[in-house]
Chains A and B, each alone.
Chain A
Amino acid sequence: MSMRGLTVFIADIRNCRVRELEEKRINKEMANIRSKFKEGNLNGYQKKKYVCKLLYMYILGWDIDFGHMEAVNLIASTKYSEKQIGYLAVTLLFHENSDLVRLVVNSIKKDLDDMNEIYNCLALHAIANIGGREMAETLALDVHRLLISPTSRSFVQKKAALTMLRLFRKHPDVIPATDWADRVIALMDEYDLGVALSVTTLVMAFAQTFPEEYKGCYVKALQRLKRILIDRDFSLDYIYYKVPTPWLQVKCLRLLQYYPPPEDAAVRNEINELLQVIVNNSQDTPKNVQHNNAQNAVLFEAINLAIHLDSNSQICMQAAVLLGRFISSKETNVRYLGLETMAHLAACADSLEPIKKHQETIIMSLRDKDISVRRRGLDLLYSMCDTSNSKVIISELLRYLQIADYTLREEMVLKIAILTEKFATAYSWYVDIILQLISTAGDHVGEEVWFRVVQIVTNNEDLQEYAAKTVLNYLRSPQYNETMIKVGGYILGEFGHLIANSSGCSPIEQFTAVHSKFSLCSLQTRALLLTTYVKFVNLFPEIKSQVLTVFNQYRHVLDSELQQRACEYMAISTLPTDDMLQTVCEEMPPFPERESTLVIKLNQKQGDTEDKRVWVIGGKEANLERRESMKARMSSIDSISTPTSFTAPEPRPATTTNGNSHMMSAEPDLLGLDDLSISTPNNVQLSSNDVPTPGFEPGYHKLQRAAEGVLFEDMHLQIGLKSEYHGHLGRLALYFGNKTGATLQNFTTQIDSTEALTVISPTPVANVVEARSQVQQLLNIECNEFFRESPGLRISYTSQATGPQRLFIKLPVVLTKFMEPIQSMDGNSFFQRWKQIGGAPRESQVVFKSGSQSGISIESVRNILDGYRFGLLDDVDPNPSNFVGAGVVHGGKAGKVGALLRLEPNMEQHMYRLTVRTTSEIVSEELRIILERSLTYDA
């Protein structure tokens, strides 16, 4: 297809030696084409030629913002050569959300229906490339027809399969994948290996979403492998450098990894036999690079499958030996893949022994000349680390950190920090390593690393003295490292007094060490150090005057944050009594958090048009959870009626806080070291009074939707509440106000804490509430399971005005408090998820009447849904008075559960239909109950 004008143009561009000349030539041509298109009257050949020129400019990286209409016209041409260029332009230039897509849908449909199969293919290819919603809705059935029709030729079928896959990935709600399961699975048997490959790819995507409906593919994939490997039944065309269709083999091996290992021993044997054949085949000496590649592609995927099935099997032992050979191979590709696959083995195997044999080689790989190999080595070392080799590995990593590529450092720091924490056996070792890490890595230490250090030191009493001494030494060194100063400032402020009597650690020496670096620090760090100083004033009155000089100086700086801190700290420090200072600077309570922020940071999420990972980098427990959830997904479909994830809230000894009790230790400690908090179960159980005090409900219900307000009020006492929630954690502040003119004596509170919902009061509430004054109590709340019962709050006190009093009210802590709203979800993804969750039992639906006399007010409904922390998605439901909402419930140990909501009010009938879908039936039901009650009475 020679177009002289095009050839000349390309040659012209090639002759432009500098970018400016090229730009000039391009602009001239664009202007020319624009005017030609404007004049109109072009014949097909001319249109084709100009569109081709535009495409060439596009490939060179120029933005093309016209010519779309001409491309659309070309598609409808009867000449194949023009049609073909039209389709090429459409697939390169059109965006799925472009309005112009509408214009091509009809032409595409016509070509799909055409008798000419080559036209069918052009159309399929265009759909697979653009695949907007409108195309999916209009054309999915035609694509399906081409896929399954017995009259379709194989080159059409294989394209139809991949087109279907693309539409499913983008708009799963449009594709009735489950209805088509049998027909599609049957196509996996197709003799034509091109079709078999495409269909297997399609089935792989369906099976990830609908494992149960598509479980028939398991046997099909096995049979296919058997036909290739044992029966050697395949078309000779598909032998690629002596290996029969490696791509299809790899796909089948991969598909098997999306299912849990089969229970049936016969099936397992069959798979093992196939894997053995692959391992044996790999012993052939390869003829050339391509042969070697193809052979290894199959082998590596086979090893991955073997690890997935049973990491202790005979085959895996053989694999470990092979991998050991690979990681010292001369070929870089093989080393790379060997390390990667070994990391997979390390992440799943019960015993790391076969891998540890190669520890030396693996450590050497950190010094490989290729960064790609170094990365894999790092992943593997991270995965294979355990108590026996952690010291060696961590010190190697620390040594390597100093010379590592900059792009690797941040990740390395995280990994070292996690490993150090996980495998620490001695406090001093942990402190030494982590501070050395901070000191070495400098700017590459993320905030979360030093936060974590502070948390761990705070929560482990035995660590504190040593940590304080060590940071002080670091602060004294001439090296300047901002993260180290932050850690040092914080730790000395909290625990400096523990070392104040040691030589060289006197208060003034501590202060001088910190302050010598003060002027070098950023504003944020200086603010932190000011706080350290006010703590010093509290701990060491003898250096007060030096500290006050600093505060005084900083009362006049321009930065408002520093200025405010300096003024406030100055004022607190110079009050006539130290009461305020002591309260403000009280030692920090242990941190309640359980899941390490480091691990969260490391495991980022992946995009959604892609296949799932079958394993993650890290130790065994990191993968265990994923495997369990894979099994759970399969079995939950089998046994629909038995709830699996919900544990009924078992009452635990309630957290009692009165004048002198310590807090309960409700947390397993962060490190697996001994917990510092002493648990002293309190015997002063208040006599149980299990009927809630009348009048508690209005506040209880209102504050379920609000962060602060009055929880309860009677003649004598007012209880105010402020709250904030983040993820599965929450903090509540309760304010008990004495309204009477008499002192409330023996004031105690007792709050229910259960396994599912732990409530801890870090500091006890004051024993006495003076007349017309207020005391405060802070509560840390953690959601561990999906709970139903709000915790109870029991209060007792006596006073001259009232005599002995007892109150029992409920705290407004309901499941939705642990929900984060999702505001940014478009209609497509909402319905995609909606559909994925499906109907009962994971759906909870109810139709009910509004309790309001005056009818339904859309505004107050909106406020209620908003208050219960649903993100309201406008423009998803075409009917404006219907509500669509989404959120994520953070269930702590029970995991996160996405929640979707549809609420359809019927204004005439004063009725609502409320539908909640989440992946947990417990959550669906609980959310439904909460909303149903509130909508009935509060709207």
Chain B
Amino acid sequence: MIKSIMIFNNHGKPRLSKFYQQIDIATQQALIEEIFSLVSKRPDTVCNFLEGSKLLGGKDTRVIYRHYATLYFVFVVDESESELGILDLIQVFVESLDRCFENVCELDLIFHFEEVHHILTEIVQGGMVLETNMSEIVTAIGELNKMKKKSGAISAGSLSLKASETLRSSFRH
């Protein structure tokens, strides 16, 4: 299962954290810090997998991450998940974000953090992979936004605020 998902930037500032096992917030922060310190030291040429430290749950826990432009996307998983499968899932997540936000960048994740959560909800549920088909994910989000409009929330028009580097540029990493 997926134990937790986190996004933080190159300085370790969290942009999303979602824990599928119940952990108090102090430990959550300690985990994010620890993972950031592990991951940020690693050059982009080494592999995308790390073995869990004691705090993370030991040998059977894997940290699987990808680095896009200014952001790290990190999944902490147990031994039963395929490493490459999770790597693909991160790509699906990022491409879905990119489609929903039209060329996504870090600022989108900051100012629309709740949207990011809603998108993640369509991909992972309770620590399990729910959907991997991007068009299905984007359609589902579209449905939700229609519902929101109907219920009277004001639409923001285009969500994008393109001031920082977009993630799409590093898809091929």
Contacts from A to B (Cβ < 8 Å): 1-2, 7, 10, 14, 52, 55-56, 58-64, 78-82, 84-85, 88, 92, 95-96, 118, 124-125, 128-129, 131, 155, 158-159, 162-163, 165-166, 193-194, 197-198, 201, 237-238, 240, 245-247, 250, 254, 288-290, 293-294, 296-297, 300-301, 332-333, 335-337, 369-370, 372-373, 375, 407, 604, 606-607, 609-613
Q: Which residues of A contact B15 (CB under 8 A)?
A: 59
Query: When A85-B114, A118-B143, A333-B49 are in contact, do A611 and B80 touch as well, CB less than 8 Å?
Result: yes
CA distance A60 to B45 in the complex (A): 29
- From B32, B46, B143, B172, give the contact of A370 (CB < 8 A): B46
- Contact of B99 with A by CB under 8 A: no
Contact indicator A194/B20 (Cβ below 8 Å): no
Q: Are A81 and B152 in contact (CB under 8 A)?
A: yes
**In contact, A372 and B50 (Cβ under 8 angstroms):** yes
Which of B22, B151, B154, B155 sits near A79, CB closer than 8 Å? B151
| A247 and B50 within 8 A (CB) | no
A293-B130 contact, Cβ under 8 Å, with A2-B154, A155-B140, A194-B136: no
Instruction: Given A289-B172, A613-B60, check contact A84 B45 (CB 8 Å).
Output: no
**Chain B residues in 8 Å Cβ range of A610:** 1, 60, 78-80
Chain A residues with CB under 8 Å of B29's CB are 61
Contact among A96, A297, A370 with B22 in the assembled complex (CB-CB below 8 Å): A96
Residues of A contacting B110 with CB < 8 Å? 10, 14
- Counting contact residues on chain B (CB < 8 A from A), the size range is 35 or more
Q: Which of B16, B85, B140 is A250 in contact with, Cβ under 8 Å? A: B85
Q: Is the CB of B151 within 8 A of A165?
A: no
Contact of B70 with A by CB under 8 A = no
Tell me which residues across on chain A come within 8 A of B169, comparing CB atoms. none
CA distance A254 to B48 in the complex (A): 22
Smallest CB separation, B49 vs chain A (Å): 5
**Taking the nearest CB of chain A, how far is it from the CB of B85, in angstroms?**
5
- Which A residues lie within 8 Å of B144 (CB)? 80, 84, 118
Contact B92 A1 (CB under 8 A): no
Asked if B118 CB lies within 8 Å of chain A CBs, one says yes
B98-154 contacts to A, CB under 8 A, are: 110-111, 113-114, 117-118, 121, 125-133, 135-136, 140, 143-144, 147-148, 150-154
Q: Quick one: which of A10, A62, A131, A240 contacts B111, CB cutoff 8 A?
A: A10
Q: Is there contact, CB below 8 Å, between B47 and A59?
A: no
Interface residues of B in 1-15 (CB under 8 A from A): 1, 13-15
Nearest first, the 4 A-B pairs at minimum CB distance are A128-B126, A611-B80, A297-B84, A332-B47
The reply to whether B82 and A301 form a contact with Cβ atoms under 8 Å apart is yes
Assess the B118–A84 pair: CB atoms within 8 A. yes
Q: How many Å lie between the Cα of A813 and that of B125 in the bound state?
A: 52
Contacting pair B133 A337 (CB below 8 A): no
A62 vs chain B, min Cβ distance (A): 8
Q: Are A61 and B80 in contact (CB under 8 A)?
A: no
**A604 x B58 contact (CB < 8 A):** yes
Contacts of A296 in B (CB 8 A): 84
Cross-chain contact B154 with A1 (CB below 8 angstroms): yes
Q: Is B28 an interface residue (CB 8 A)?
A: yes
* Nearest B-chain residue to A64, judged by Cβ: B25
Within 8 Å by CB of A60, from B14, B53, B126, lies: B14
How far, in Å, is A606 (CB) from chain B's closest CB?
5
Closest-CB distance, A756 to chain B (whole angstroms): 34
What separation, in Å, do the CA atoms of A704 and B150 have in the docked complex? 74
Compute how far the CA of A250 lies from the CA of B125 in the bound complex, rounded to whole angstroms: 18
On whether the beta carbons of A237 and B46 are closer than 8 Å, the reply is: no
In the complex, 28 of the A-B residue pairs with CB atoms within 8 angstroms, ordered by the A residue number, are: A1-B154, A1-B156, A52-B114, A59-B14, A61-B29, A63-B26, A64-B25, A80-B150, A95-B22, A128-B125, A158-B130, A158-B131, A159-B125, A162-B125, A165-B126, A194-B131, A201-B129, A240-B92, A246-B88, A293-B84, A294-B84, A297-B85, A300-B82, A332-B45, A369-B46, A370-B47, A610-B60, A610-B79
User: Which of A92, A247, A301, A611 is the most central at the interface, judged by chain B CB atoms within 10 Å of its CB?
Assistant: A247
CB proximity of B18 to chain A, nearest CB, Å = 8
B residues bordering A, Cβ < 8 Å? Answer: 1, 13-18, 20-22, 25-26, 28-29, 32, 42, 45-51, 53, 57-60, 78-80, 82-85, 87-89, 91-92, 110-111, 113-114, 117-118, 121, 125-133, 135-136, 140, 143-144, 147-148, 150-156, 172-173
Chain B nearest CB: distance from A284 CB in Å? Answer: 16
Q: State whether B128 touches A80 (Cβ < 8 A).
A: no
Docked complex Cα distance between A52 and B153 (Å): 14
Least Cβ distance of B157 to chain A in Å?
A: 9
Q: Is the CB of A336 within 8 A of B47?
A: yes
Q: Which residues of B contact A332 (CB under 8 A)?
A: 45-47
Instruction: Give the dominant DSSP class at B's interface.
Output: mixed
* Other-chain residue from B25, B47, B143 in contact with A63 (beta carbon distance below 8 A): B25
CB contact under 8 A between A88 and B125, given known A293-B88, A336-B47: no
A124 to B136, CA, bound (A): 18
| Complex: A58 Cα to B14 Cα, angstroms | 10
Cβ contacts under 8 Å, B125 to chain A: 124-125, 128-129, 159, 162-163, 166
Bound together, the chains give a CA A375 to CA B130 distance in angstroms of 31
Chain B residues whose C-beta falls within 8 Å of the C-beta of A237 in the assembled complex: 133, 135-136
Is there contact, CB below 8 Å, between A80 and B151? yes
A135 to chain B, nearest CB (A): 12
Question: Which residue from chain B places its CB closest to the CB of A58 in the assembled complex?
Answer: B25
Q: Are A372 and B51 in contact (CB under 8 A)?
A: yes
Q: How far is the CA of A490 from the CA of B155 in the complex (A)?
A: 78
B46–A59 touching, CB < 8 Å: no
Give Cα A198 to B124, complex, Å. 10
How many Å lie between the Cα of A370 and that of B25 in the bound state? 31
The complex places the Cα of A80 from the Cα of B148 at a distance, in Å, of 6
Q: How far is the CA of A297 from the CA of B92 in the complex (A)?
A: 15
Of residues B25, B53, B121, which shows the largest number of chain A Cβ atoms within 10 Å of its Cβ? B121
A80-B150, A128-B125, A369-B46 as given contacts; A247 in contact with B132, CB under 8 Å: yes
For the A-B complex with A81-B147, A332-B45 known, give 18 more contacts whose Cβ atoms are closer than 8 Å. Answer: A59-B15, A61-B28, A80-B147, A88-B114, A118-B147, A125-B125, A166-B126, A194-B133, A197-B132, A237-B135, A245-B132, A288-B172, A294-B84, A297-B82, A332-B46, A604-B59, A609-B1, A611-B78
Evaluate contact between B126 and A163: CB separation under 8 angstroms.
yes
| Complex: A198 Cα to B29 Cα, angstroms | 30
| Closest B residue by C-beta to A292 | B84
Residue in contact with B113 in the complex, picked from A59, A158, A193, A289, CB distance below 8 Å:
A59
Contacts of B143 in A (CB 8 A): 118
Indicate if the CB atoms of A250 and B82 lie closer than 8 Å: yes
Q: How far is the CA of A78 from the CA of B154 in the complex (A)?
A: 16
Q: Is there contact, CB below 8 Å, between B128 and A372?
A: no
| Residues on B with beta carbons closer than 8 Å to the beta carbon of A288 | 172
- Minimum distance in angstroms from A52 CB to a CB of chain B: 6
A293-B80 Cα distance, complex, nearest whole Å: 17
Contact status B113-A81, CB under 8 Å: no
Q: A61 to B25, Cβ gap below 8 A?
A: yes
Are A300 and B84 neighbours in the complex by a CB distance under 8 Å?
yes
A336 contacts B130, CB within 8 Å?
A: no
Question: In the complex, A337→B81 CA distance in Å?
Answer: 13
Q: Is A297 a contact partner of B88 (Cβ separation < 8 A)?
A: yes
Contacts of B25 in A (CB 8 A): 58, 61-64
Q: Which residues of B contact A63 (CB under 8 A)?
A: 25-26
Most chain A CB within a 10 A radius of its CB, from B117, B133, B150, B154: B133
Contact A240 B132 (CB under 8 A): yes
Cβ contacts under 8 Å, A80 to chain B: 144, 147-148, 150-151
Q: Contacts A166-B126, A613-B60 hold; do A88 and B1 have CB atoms under 8 A apart?
A: no
Report the minimum CB–CB distance from B165 to chain A (whole Å). Answer: 16
Contacts of A128 in B (CB 8 A): 125-126
**A55 near B88: Cβ-Cβ < 8 Å:** no
Nearest A residue to B28 via CB reads A61
Query: A238 CA to B149 CA in the complex, in Å?
Result: 29
A81-B153, A155-B140 are known contacts. Are A129 and B20 too (CB-CB below 8 A)?
A: yes
Q: Closest approach, in angstroms, between the C-beta of B53 and any C-beta of chain A?
A: 8
Residue of A nearest to B6 (CB): A59
Q: Which residues of A contact B155 (CB under 8 A)?
A: 1-2
